[in-house]
Amino acid sequence: PLVLGIETSCDETGVGIVRGHTLLADALASSVDQHARFGGVVPEVASRAHLEALVPTMQRALDEAKVTLADIDAIAVTSGPGLAGALLVGVAAAKGYALAADKPIYGVNHLAAHVAVDTLEHGPLPEPAVAMLVSGGHSSLLLVDDLTNGVEPLGATIDDAAGEAFDKVARLLGLGFPGGPIIDRTAREGDAASIAFPRGLTAPKDLAAHRFDFSFSGLKTAVARWVETRQRDGEPVPVADVSASFQEAVCDVLTAKAIDACLTRGVRTLVIGGGVAANSRLRVLAEQRAVKHGIEVRVPRPQLCTDNGAMVAALGSRLVAAGVAPSRLDLPADSAMPLTSVSVAG
Ligand code: ATP
Ligand code: MG
Ligand code: FE
């Protein structure tokens, strides 16, 4: 099927078009620069930017794919989770287009879309698979038996998300926003073994109750303390070493737990999605560790890891192909949409 996907859950306005598993267009407009001076996404600013960017982004996607709205078989849109006002812009637009062009509409889960997008790069996902979703707002391990039916949560962060930790540590190092890509770059000049930062929830007593859960707030505090001590002693802060050591701590825990989940559940495929999946060290370490156990790691290219419209179209395409009923035209923007619902029931 030819499916168009609209994404507006945070600060990226994305419109993607796919045919089956083939990516035809991925148009993106970001308001990230407008948020940078606030050190985080400002919801009102994001909503207004979506409003201005949506129609031109839609047009760019259609041009890029060389199709018209009339050619599209279905429209998918992020229903949640995300910023309420931002989601509303995408959902309202999708309804308008669906009504005007008389097309079925699918309200989809943004997090499931972060998992589904890999099919555009590597083809159908072998199921069951373990999915590790690591983004700005979430860090979860999920068992995926049939993505169209939902996912089984295995564990999640008990405090900060991985991306949030990257953003907060970048901020305390004075590196700017969003922090993930900047730390990734800065870390390349540093020594990842120079500072032994804590690995949250990996001690034997924690593993008993939180085997597949994550905790990154203790790590963030440890980095802050380490930097403060340096500054108090009047010594320079080795920003590259701190970045590399922090990044190593995050990637070590994420990959160790993801592989443990695969081994425990007898699963041979690990798919990684969400903005933090763009991290160069995470990609290398996951591959290195997985290969030892005969586990295949699938991570889409960095551009598809962060928010985009193609991921929404990819999930929509999968739902259409599986014969899932479309959502109703009065589908909600649901800022707290749970991962147990992959699309809004019709
Ligand atoms: P969610 O998907 O949970 O709703 P979101 O949509 O805001 O949150 P994404 O766009 O999926 O999140 O990811 C953004 C996050 O990914 C930010 O925290 C950003 O710092 C992080 N990120 C992006 N690139 C990298 C990278 N190369 N290394 C580490 N983190 C990264
Ligand atoms: Mg973003
Ligand atoms: Fe996201």
Tens digits of residue pLDDT in 22-53: 999 999 999 998 998 888 899 999 999 999 99
What ipTM does this complex have? 0.98
Nearest CA to 309 out of 111, 27, 1, 24 is that of 27
Residue 66 burial (CB count, 10 A): 10
Query: Of the ligands numbered here, which is closest to the C-alpha atom of 278?
Result: 1
Q: 111-163: per-residue pLDDT in tens?
A: 999 999 999 999 999 999 999 999 999 999 999 999 999 899 999 999 999 99
> Is 137 known as a binding-site position?
yes
The strands making up 22-30's β-sheet, listed across from edge to edge, are 22-30, 12-19, 2-7, 74-80, 105-109
Amino acid 18: pLDDT: 98
Which of 78, 118, 307, 339 to mutate to test ligand 1, by most ligand atoms within 8 A of the CB atom? 307
Amino acid 39: pLDDT: 82
The residues that bridge with 74 in the sheet, in sequence order, are 3
Question: Is the distance from the beta carbon of residue 110 to the nearest atom of ligand 1 less than 6 Å?
Answer: yes
Residue 204 C-alpha to ligand 1 middle, in angstroms? 29
Q: 314-327: per-residue pLDDT in tens?
A: 999 999 999 999 99
Q: What is the DSSP letter of 126?
A: P
Q: What is the DSSP letter of 83?
A: -
In order, the DSSP letters of 223-242 are HHHHHHHHHHTTPPP-HHHH
Work out the mean pLDDT of the chain and round it to a whole number. Answer: 97
Is residue 133 within 8 Å of residue 105, measured between CB atoms?
Answer: no
Amino acid 47: pLDDT: 97
pLDDT at 79 over 90: yes
Question: Is the distance from the beta carbon of residue 135 to the nearest atom of ligand 1 less than 6 Å?
Answer: yes
Residue 84 C-alpha to ligand 2 middle, in angstroms? 15
Q: Is 233 exposed, middle or buried (0-12, 13-18, 19+ CB in 10 A)?
A: exposed
Question: Is the distance from the beta carbon of residue 14 to the nearest atom of ligand 1 less than 6 Å?
Answer: no
Residue % of the chain over a pLDDT of 70:
100
pLDDT at 340 over 90: no
Q: 169-204: per-residue pLDDT in tens?
A: 999 999 998 999 999 999 999 999 999 999 999 999
pLDDT at 299 over 90: yes
Distance, CA of 268 to CA of 298 (rounded, Å): 11
The predicted model scores a pTM of 0.96
